[in-house]
A and B are shown apart, each in its own frame.
Chain A
């Protein structure tokens, strides 16, 4: 169990590429933190710096009370689950799980006991004598988890561990991983590019973009008050509609194409602005704003309507019992559900 503190952590590769810009945050003891962002945003680099697989260019990293910048990965008391599981192909499941313990000089009987215990927790008892190649993807994933938990680490690190599984198994493992972490109470850092995983699993989400932290917050905070247009469009599926608009001196919000939106402009702004509206914060068939529907996507529980609003791309999500077709239809915007962002840097106003 440990708190992880990053102070002014910064990573520049020898070729000059700045993978992670200076960042500081604290992960509380027992917390499940998800690092999320598109590929190349630096989330894996950040995780690998915490693991010790990547050198830290600048800054201080603490796990518990210890500064671990120069501590070998094996001595940081962490465990990591990799995307491709990274199981040792020539070892049985039991040996895979016990290898780290064996290297620490723990006695054979104690290793056996710990492996048995972990195997029981993960329903792997029947597979202990098998090789990884004889297991299914989900079972391999469990072995990788088992290898992590037998060591009773201070910190779990997950590097997109569910990406290689099919959708159904992924949903199931998502819940299992979360439940296991809750039960063990071990601090966890989880990297993913999947915003659903981030939203469902995290105590707190850290959204990264281009090596920079865009926002840190609970899933609810991230969703309801995104700090920038990047967070707004990255978190949530379908993404938030972001429209170019202008705030006039008398506080009217007008889209660039001339259509006026019936929303209250933010107090301290005027001139060009970005208006964000989530697709589910709109009601069809009411109000006065014309929405030109071009494509209807059937999702079962919902329907997604894609089209244009005042000439800009726009989507609306409606319930399954709401009939929808193409053509122009009036929509009303739920009051208070409108987000405003600066047009210069994309940050929230």
Chain B
């Protein structure tokens, strides 16, 4: 602190001025970027305050109407959909189940896979790893028919497990954890062995706590990724009570289409709601996120 004050005093005025200009320039760029990203959101939020007829007639708006509260309320609490049994809250819950189940499942599976690959003398460990890695070349979209067929035959269509399980194998997660585990010093394993920790104890007592920043970082990425899943939920859930927000938005627009004008206001309100949780998670956990990807507590 003392050093800092001293340097500031010692700095001649011109260089302080230059410093300021730099800051202003940097901020201009940042503000421009933020506006570019934010404007669609602002449009969506403000337009959500009109009734469908106005939206249909006048398009997106930049001044608030008077329907904001009722649109959000209807989007969240009014039973809608084809069966009139599902509201926004149910879809929100489903989205959370998918997002959390997806992230937690991926973390557990990929941590265990990486543990096996790094710490056990498996005959084809490296080969197995590369096989896992090549699955990156086969995303869900490529194998969607066989996946659907398998889950359907297992009777897991229209269940939460059918929604989550086929998605949780993760080459990326396995890769991240593998790199992390490989950087854990060998002596730690040996010290734990001498301390009488077997493979399971070592995993739970040492590796998991050591990886907690890594786990947090991967959780954030995977939660957002899972939350935003669209194709697979659309395919595997036909029961409306299992709909997630991301696909529910479309459902609102669709089911109301016979009433001449789709409920644009409600759809936009729901879109805002659907965007919030990932945004909040990233904002609140960003320090963990950066820590997990850069620092290591080894």
Contact = CB atoms under 8 A, between A and B. Distances in A.
19 contacts: A53-B190, A53-B194, A72-B193, A73-B193, A74-B193, A74-B194, A74-B196, A74-B197, A82-B190, A84-B187, A86-B185, A86-B187, A86-B188, A88-B192, A99-B205, A100-B196, A103-B196, A103-B197, A147-B195
B196 A104 contact: yes
Interface residues of A, number: 23
A78 interface: yes
A90 B297 contact: yes
A87 B297 CA distance: 12
A100 B190 contact: no
Interface in B151-206: 185, 187-188, 190-197, 201, 205-206
Interface string B203-228: 00110011010000000000000000
Interface of A: 51, 53, 72-75, 78-80, 82-84, 86-90, 99-100, 103-104, 133, 147
Contacts of B188: 86, 88
B187 A82 contact: yes
A80 B191 contact: yes
A86 B189 CA distance: 9
B298 interface: yes
B194 A79 contact: yes
Interface in B212-250: 212
Nearest to B205: A99
Contacts of B194: 51, 53, 73-74, 78-80, 100
A116 B160 CA distance: 51
B187 A89 contact: no
A89 B197 contact: no
Given A99-B205, A103-B201, A82 B191 contact: yes
B210 A90 contact: yes
Given A74-B195, A86-B190, A90-B212, 12 more contacts: A51-B190, A53-B190, A75-B196, A82-B191, A88-B188, A89-B298, A90-B210, A90-B297, A99-B192, A99-B195, A100-B196, A147-B191
